[in-house]
Amino acid sequence: NAGVTQTPKFRILKIGQSMTLQCTQDMNHNYMYWYRQDPGMGLKLIYYSVGAGITDKGEVPNGYNVSRSTTEDFPLRLELAAPSQTSVYFCASSYRVGGSEQFFGPGTRLTVL
Amino acid sequence: GQQVMQIPQYQHVQEGEDFTTYCNSSTTLSNIQWYKQRPGGHPVFLIQLVKSGEVKKQKRLTFQFGEAKKNSSLHITATQTTDVGTYFCAGDSNYQLIWGAGTKLIIKP
């Protein structure tokens, strides 16, 4: 099993550009999450999904959108990139929503200039 | 909103010294999880504590969950270079993980 995979690993965007961060998991987990981690900081939840077709906002959703058309895929869309979105983005998945470890992808390092 | 405070932010130790990080939640937690993130890596699950007063050990690592289920600690005995990284606690409350800011373990050369 590959676990959670993310693409791309690195990306530089110009202000105002858009992009989609890809996330795929092969563990048949219903629950998936997007986090951002700013330098020297903890993880902040952007969006999460409890199953295909169901998504909800986390702590810092502004400037992002998600979709969940399949159990495996949970892409994160950045519209009109801003320097404040410079961060490392982690996708994660879990078997249950509570009391269940989260498995993380390797992350996407995004810089907005 | 719910918060999990984690201290210290950094701890510098000589190899062989002990390391401890503490987490405090503003609310009672269902459980607490601990993760380790190596430099440049992603968080990796270490353990989950569920019961009030629970203590679990993994070799040189000791995890504790407070009696009121609002605080937790991770203690590493006799640190090694392989322990370097950032240790995060994540409190589970209302089916969402609330993450502490992490404690970075730095081994002095």
Render pLDDT for A1-57 as a digit per residue (tens, 0 to 9).
Answer: 789 999 999 999 999 999 999 999 999 999 999 999 998 888 999 999 999 999 999
Say whether A101 and B50 touch across the interface (CB within 8 A): no
Cβ contacts (< 8 Å) between A44 and chain B: which residues?
99
Whether B97 shows a pLDDT value over 90: the answer reads no
Whether B94 shows a pLDDT value over 80: the answer reads no
Cβ contacts (< 8 Å) between A5 and chain B: which residues?
none
For residue B69, the model assigns a pLDDT of 95
Whether A99 shows a pLDDT value over 90: the answer reads no
For residue A100, the model assigns a pLDDT of 86
Say whether B43 and A45 touch across the interface (CB within 8 A): no
Whether B96 shows a pLDDT value over 80: the answer reads no
Whether A67 shows a pLDDT value over 80: the answer reads yes
Nearest to A41 by CA among B71, B10, B69, B45: B10
**Three-class HEC string of B42-81:** CCEEEEEECCCCCEEEECCEEEEECCCCCEEEEEECCCCH
Is any Cβ of chain A less than 8 angstroms from the Cβ of B106? Answer: no
Distance from CA of A99 to the nearest CA of B (A): 7
Interior angle at CA A101, CA A47 and CA A26, nearest 5? 75
Residue B95 pLDDT grade (very low, low, confident, very high; cuts 50, 70, 90): low
Cβ contacts (< 8 Å) between A104 and chain B: which residues?
42-44
For residue A42, the model assigns a pLDDT of 87
Whether A83 shows a pLDDT value over 90: the answer reads yes
Whether B92 shows a pLDDT value over 90: the answer reads no
Whether B88 shows a pLDDT value over 90: the answer reads yes
Residue A96 pLDDT grade (very low, low, confident, very high; cuts 50, 70, 90): confident
Longest Cα–Cα distance of chain B, Å, equals: 43
Q: How far is CA A88 from CA A49, A52, B57, B93, in A?
A: 20, 25, 31, 25
What does the pLDDT look like over B18-72, one tens digit per residue? 999 999 999 999 999 999 999 999 999 999 999 999 999 999 999 999 999 999 9
Probe site for chain B from A43, A44, A108 (most B CB atoms < 10 A)? A43
Distance from CA of B18 to the nearest CA of A (A): 22
DSSP of A14-68, one letter per residue?
A: -TT--EEEEEEESS--SEEEEEEE-TT--EEEEEEEEETTEEEE-S--TTEEE--
Residue in chain A lying closest to B91 (CA): A99
Residue in chain B lying closest to A105 (CA): B42
